[in-house]
Structure 1
Amino acid sequence: MSINKTSKLDLLINQLDLTEHIEQFKSFFSRQSSLYIEGDQELHYRYIKALDNVEFKAPPKVADFYDIKGHLKKRGVLNFGQMFEIVKVVRYFRYFKNRELEGIIGEWMSKFEVHEKFQTIEKYFTSEGKFEENLDETLFGLSARIKEHKNNMSSSMKRMMSSSKLAGYLVDTQIHYINDEECLLVRGGFNHVLKGAVIGRSSGGFFYVSPDSILKSKEQIRYIEQEREAIFYTYAKEFSATLSEIQPFIAYIDKEFTKFDNYQARVLFARSKNLQLVKSKNDSKIILNSFTHPALHKPKPVDVDFSKNILMITGVNAGGKTMLLKSILSAAFMAKYIIPMSLNENKSHIGSFKAVLSIIDDPQNVKNDISTFAGRMQEFSKIFEYKSALVGIDEIELGTDSDEAAALFKVILDDLIKRGQKVVVTTHHKRLAALMADRDDVELMAAIYDEEQRVPTYEFMQGIIGKSYAFETASRYGISNAIVNEAKSVYGDNSEKLSLLIERGSQLERELKQKHKKIDDRLEELRLKELDLREQKEILIKEIDDKKSELKKSYALAIDEAKTAARAGDTKAIHRAMSKANEKLPKEIKETIPNNYVFKIGDFIKYRNNKGSIVSIKDKKEALIEVGGMRLRVKTKDLKPTKNIYVKPQTNVKVNVDKKSGLKCDLHGMRAEEAEETLDKFLSDALLNGWDEVIVYHGIGTGKLSYAVKNFLKAHPKVKKFEDAPQHFGGFGAKIVTL
């Protein structure tokens, strides 16, 4: 990014009051970088959101590789500090790769393969960046000698301080450091008992003396250090030559780390302040929900729908119009650069713009001999150079006659819209607002004033032109009531009436907004209750299904016991097993019959699962009913009234028990429907009596009855198989059925 572009960007950041926010964001970078990420923004955003789902430690601070790559390109020698910058990047990428993450982050990290030649260099650096001298025998020996000399120096100084000969000359028993030399503070005449060099004098006239033994040891250490430096330089030349051979690898990790650094800085900054990561969409619509400008302390969240070409903000002085304009431009700017911000990301929508431009400050400058209006015209002339830009203009009519400016700026705004610009305007003058208000591409918005408290609310209402409340603002800031009242008189009745109409419109809109909020709160409350009820219903349905499944299993076991008893011919055991099975079934919820309902002879009723009619009634508590050809005496409380029913006459079914051939069912002469009903009852009785095999006679005839019987047996859930009977049992005219 060029210096000119950088200065323009810094100016915009300053105008939008984003300087502190951006500086805090930049502090999360591992290395200095521009705000804009080069390349496909959609792809960058995918990586940022994927990284946001991963817990990771921040990368170390890393220097830029520009000088490092320049030295290697010229076959220069890098120092160990420069080499360690490369090592830090490689080790951080290895840390991420070893975590074996899934998704696009894992795929990205799997591409990093450390060059074999670099691994031989990396092992010589500790985690703090120090050279591993233990890997070189000579260096290890030299370090041991230096350590030995230092120990000797320390021991020598201690012996001198405890010497009885020197005790009379010592001013104190401390080791002093003068010009990086270890010294003793002694009185005059010390040369009789101490040989050394005077390093300095104290304010009290005493001498700082470095003993000869210490000076000799330090000289020895300097010689050893020179040997070590020579060895270090040999390693540096060797390592630099190796790094020159793998320049493509270094360039690759440098580029990828810069990209990763941009991602991690955004993720960690957003986490630190509970901000949202939002990217601009491919349109020009701006919808902000619960947006808060980072420069404000305890701000009121901003909600604004800026889907049209022009947003015109009017209303009370010091009511937040300028900050609303800055908020809209700031949101667009931060979305363009994917800088974390505070808003409801699910309900917000921020379009994409090639440039974000602002005309906010008063351009008047005495040195340049330029007026406010002339300066504004200069700034407007620059805007026409852009296309598809978002433009914010604060106090559009600043510096000249409002009526003339209204006509001029109407035409200017029209031209800007034709060029694809999107414009936010604040103004106190209603002339321009009135000229633009009836257009479909203009959105009006007004700052709201609290009449009771006589203060701005810092809230906004869309769709209206707001009053400036100049007189009220003047009173609030100390102008006397007498001056304000006289100003109102000069202002005139007609103008006051217009202001009252505007004020009344604002009040009605505010009341409507409050009602809408109550309705929205109520709807949200009902929605949450509905979700809760659905959840409870799902839980109950699951409990019921589990209980049904449990009961069915228990009932099936009891039925099997009944079948076993039936095969054994034990009637009592059958009844006990059936009763036990029925007890396992869930009880039916009986419908309550009104207390005043009176049953009469002939009424059609429902008794359990059967329908019939009342034959006679005794004491209104008992009734003789006819159900399915049988007569039963039951209690009237167990009956339910029902509509008129058709009771089919009972068909005589020939069922014979034959020890040799088993049960038989004769269907000769019946219609298909009648035969199916008879056969269904016959099979139920057979199952109840525990028979596993029965024979059904249907005859040959036209084949219709035979066809109906086959289809019925195929569909019956308890029929295992069936086949034509042997010739001596009827052949094709009968079926042997296995249950």
Structure 2
Amino acid sequence: MNQKVLDTLEYKQIKQKIGDYLATENGKKELKQLLPSSEAETVNGWLDETDDGAHIYRLNHTIPIPKLVDITPSIKRLEIGANLNGKELAQVSAVLNAILVINRFFENLETEKVELHVLYEEVKTFSNLPEITVQLKKSVDDSGKILDSASGTLSSIRRQISRLEGNIKSKMESFTHGKQSKYLSDPIITIRDDRYVIPVKAEYKQKIGGIVHDQSTSGQTIYLEPASVVGLNNDLRREQINEREEEKRILAQLSDLIRPYQMELLSNAKQLGHFDLINAKARYAASMKATRPEISADNQVNLKNARHPLINQEKVVGNDIKLGFDYRQIIITGPNTGGKTITMKTLGLLQLMAQSGLFITADEGSQAGLYDEVFADIGDDQSIEQNLSTFSSHIDNIISILKRMTNRSLVLIDELGAGTDPREGAALAMSILDAISQSDAEVLSTTHYPELKVYGYNRPETINASMEFDEKTLSPTYRLMIGIPGQSNALSIAGRLGLNESIIMEAESLVDEDSQDINSMIKKLTQQTKAADDRARKLEVELKIVTELHQELTEKFNQFTERRDAMINKAKRDANQIVSRTKRQANEIIDDLHKRQKNAAIDVKENELIEQKGKINALEQHTELKNNKVLKRSKAKKSFKVGDDVLVKTYGQRGVLLKKIGNHSWEVELGILKMKVDETDMDRVKEEKPKHRAQTVVHRTRSSSTSPTLDLRGVRYDDAMQRLDRYIDSALLAGYPSVTIIHGKGTGALRKGVINYLRGNRQVKEFGFSPANSGGDGSTVVKFK
């Protein structure tokens, strides 16, 4: 993208806002180099990364990137053979530790089955150097200080230093707290030339004795190393030198340890910066309530409720902007301060953001293009830098745009043709738009010239637009109206503000009739469009409410289904327990019977066997409802008579009815036994009769599964005849006195086939077409015998 459009559309300010969320120097470096891309694969890859970061952020997580400095200078020093100091090694250690933390973070996300587009794969590109990481963490702290654990020698030296310092301070405390403290300027122990000393009044230096290392500016105080601690100080000095040498050796050893991994370390640091930028993009998107745009390779732009990202999102007015579908040029006309320029800059800036892999301040489902270049000639007093250009500079910009644009470019021109004679300016504006149109570039232009309103109607793939103006409040609403050119409100505004009516009337008389008619037409169109928009917004709100209600009902239904399934499963489990218990009882009964039969001493009579079998059958759990009226009516229809074969359910035995005992009991012969059995415990068994031809009697019962209407419209002839034949049989079995066959009018072939079939069916009493108000000859009413 050309630098001019980035400056004009204030792309840099967007990057500054993202930069507020960065933690690493490499992240800031990558953000500084970030520019929109025209490669579909690159842009979609960036958007996938931002989408992953936003998804993680929505889960109340943030990719754990600590503050990291750029280790490139340190790696360059390694390259030339230098050794790193403790601070530089700490910076390298911080990079390696950050990688461990990030790997663990994404492993946890995978365990939680969080779905991501690309970041799981990108995490795998880190070079894990576990041994180096552990050694650096063991040797250097965050500030760069070498730890005692770096080596056993260093630890031993530091213990010796600590012991010597303790001895020295113990001896010198006799001077600060004993009788000789009166010779001191202050009862303290301090250091001069890396040796412990005490401040002694100059006149008493002979009283204590020792080596003078320094004196105060006034000369009244000398810093004296008492003779009793000179030897200890010498030992301490020697151990301190040993400590520095050991630290130097450790730094060299650690530098040599990481020297072979220079490329891996640089790559890790760069990748951490990249993850940091992904984090920042996601957090910025969340703060702006921005959404992911779809990318159209055909440059079809559809921004829904698009809002300028640099304006307070609580106050900015959103607009729908479509370009590249039915029209490739939009000409916005209307007065100043209506929002034309902001609308234009919104389109351009959101397009740059989308092609940079950023979410945009527009509603879900918005679509951006994939332009090779975005050109802008915008000079207005709304620009932050107030870039006020002359007519000649505007023309220079347009000449440059015409030379460089392609059929995949987006051109934004503010106040096209302004700054010169209105007639010449309008003619020039139309010629420039024609030239741009010939290149197939997409254009959004603003103008004051009324001639361009006619141009917008007459040119193909071009449409007029304007910014809505509220005549009641005499203020703009900043809403974009596609398809309606802007109208002049100067005279009406002047009248409302109190300008003399005679002046207004005189001005109206000077305006030609065509202009008045156009303004009247535009006013009417504006009112109609506003009404339609208001109605659409109202319907959108209602649709949202209905959608939410539908979603709530769906959730409730799913909850009900889950609870129902859970109850069914519980019932099945309970039933299985009953079955298992029943089987155990049955087995016990059967085992008892077997024992009785095997025991020759016990004579098992037939009636005992029947009783035992009856116990087994009695274990069956019946699910019929005792108070079910339908079942009662069904049972009432049973009629038993002497000689009937019946099945006694309790014993599972077949018997014959001998005589009725009481109202509901019968004497039944079961083999050699005669027993009293209740009617409810019996089912009549049909007699097996010899096969012979007999008249079949069909009792019709009404079926709820068969409809009284058959619709054959749209069915092929042969299939329709088969379906009709099956349907008539079902209707007869269902007991319907009449049915309706819908065959439509069409060519008449289906209707003729239906009539021929009905004429040949013996069960059909009569048939005829439906009444005129019920389909006429498009359907036939059939009555059965």
TM range (shorter): 0.5 to 0.7
For the Cα contact (< 8 Å) 1:317–1:473, is it kept in 2? no
Deviation at 1:350, TM superposition (A): 1.3
CA distance in 2, matches of 1:513, 1:324: 18
1:406-555 mapped onto 2 (5 Å cutoff): 406-467=426-487, 469-470=489-490, 481-482=498-499, 486=503, 489-490=506-507, 492-494=510-512, 495=515, 498-533=518-553
SS of residue in 2 equivalent to 1:260:
helix
Aligned residues: 592
CA distance in 2, matches of 1:186, 1:437: 101
SS of residue in 2 equivalent to 1:235:
helix
Which amino acid letter does the alignment assign opposite residue 59 of structure 1?
I
Partner of 1:245: 260
Alignment pair present for 1:130 and 2:150: no
Which blocks of at least 5 consecutive residues in structure 1 are unaligned? 364-369, 590-606, 611-624, 631-655, 678-739
Partner of 1:300: 316
For the Cα contact (< 8 Å) 1:314–1:468, is it kept in 2? no
C-alpha distance after superposition, 1:245-270 (max 9, x if no partner): 23343344245334333323323433
1:599-638 mapped onto 2 (5 Å cutoff): none
Partner of 1:336: 355
Partner of 1:62: 68
Deviation at 1:46, TM superposition (A): 3.0
CA distance in 2, matches of 1:174, 1:317: 78
Q: Choose 192-201 or 53-62, whichever is displaced more.
A: 192-201
Deviation at 1:42, TM superposition (A): 2.7
Partner of 1:621: none
Identity of aligned residues (%): 19
Partner of 2:339: 320
For the Cα contact (< 8 Å) 1:279–1:336, is it kept in 2? no
SS of residue in 1 equivalent to 2:434:
helix
C-alpha distance after superposition, 1:647-690 (max 9, x if no partner): xxxxxxxxx99949x9774343345995999xxxxxxxxxxxxx
Alignment pair present for 1:372 and 2:378: no
Q: Choose 207-216 or 37-46, whichever is displaced more.
A: 207-216
The equivalent position to 1:669 in structure 2, one of 691, 694, 718, is 691
Deviation at 1:486, TM superposition (A): 5.0
Deviation at 1:290, TM superposition (A): 3.1
Q: Which has the higher contact order (CA 8 A, sep 6+)?
A: 2
For the Cα contact (< 8 Å) 2:303–2:321, is it kept in 1? yes
1:40-55 mapped onto 2 (5 Å cutoff): 40-54=42-56, 55=61
C-alpha distance after superposition, 1:435-493 (max 9, x if no partner): 123444223332112222222222222221123545678899xxx85599858844734
Partner of 1:355: 373
The equivalent position to 2:625 in structure 1, one of 583, 587, 590, is 583
Partner of 1:710: none
Partner of 1:197: 214
- Normalising to structure 1: TM-score of the pair? 0.65
CA distance in 1, matches of 2:532, 2:347: 25
For the Cα contact (< 8 Å) 1:311–1:423, is it kept in 2? yes
C-alpha distance after superposition, 1:77-115 (max 9, x if no partner): 333333333322222222232342436544543554534
CA distance in 2, matches of 1:483, 1:208: 95
Partner of 1:88: 94
C-alpha distance after superposition, 1:195-226 (max 9, x if no partner): 6634446xxxx978655569999999887666
Deviation at 1:284, TM superposition (A): 1.0
CA distance in 2, matches of 1:209, 1:16: 70
Which amino acid letter does the alignment assign opposite residue 44 of structure 2?
E
Deviation at 1:531, TM superposition (A): 4.5
- Normalising to structure 2: TM-score of the pair? 0.61
Deviation at 1:377, TM superposition (A): 1.3
Which amino acid letter does the alignment assign opposite residue 98 of structure 2?
Y
SS of residue in 1 equivalent to 2:332:
strand
RMSD: 5.3
Which blocks of at least 5 consecutive residues in structure 2 are unaligned? 382-387, 590-606, 641-667, 673-683, 700-785
Which amino acid letter does the alignment assign opposite residue 625 of structure 2?
E
Cα pair distance change 1:225/1:406, threshold 3 Å = farther
CA distance in 1, matches of 2:35, 2:688: 92
For the Cα contact (< 8 Å) 1:289–1:344, is it kept in 2? yes
Cα pair distance change 1:119/1:167, threshold 3 Å = same
The equivalent position to 2:80 in structure 1, one of 71, 74, 77, is 74
1:134-213 mapped onto 2 (5 Å cutoff): 134-144=149-159, 197-200=214-217, 210=223
Deviation at 1:329, TM superposition (A): 1.2
CA distance in 2, matches of 1:486, 1:349: 50
Cα pair distance change 1:207/1:310, threshold 3 Å = farther
Cα pair distance change 1:579/1:258, threshold 3 Å = closer
C-alpha distance after superposition, 1:143-184 (max 9, x if no partner): 4566567768877997777677776985x8899999999999
Cα pair distance change 1:539/1:155, threshold 3 Å = closer
Alignment pair present for 1:24 and 2:25: no
Q: Choose 92-101 or 208-217, whichever is displaced more.
A: 208-217
For the Cα contact (< 8 Å) 2:199–2:223, is it kept in 1? no
CA distance in 2, matches of 1:226, 1:513: 84
Cα pair distance change 1:392/1:540, threshold 3 Å = same
For the Cα contact (< 8 Å) 2:470–2:477, is it kept in 1? yes
Cα pair distance change 1:37/1:502, threshold 3 Å = closer
Partner of 1:289: 304
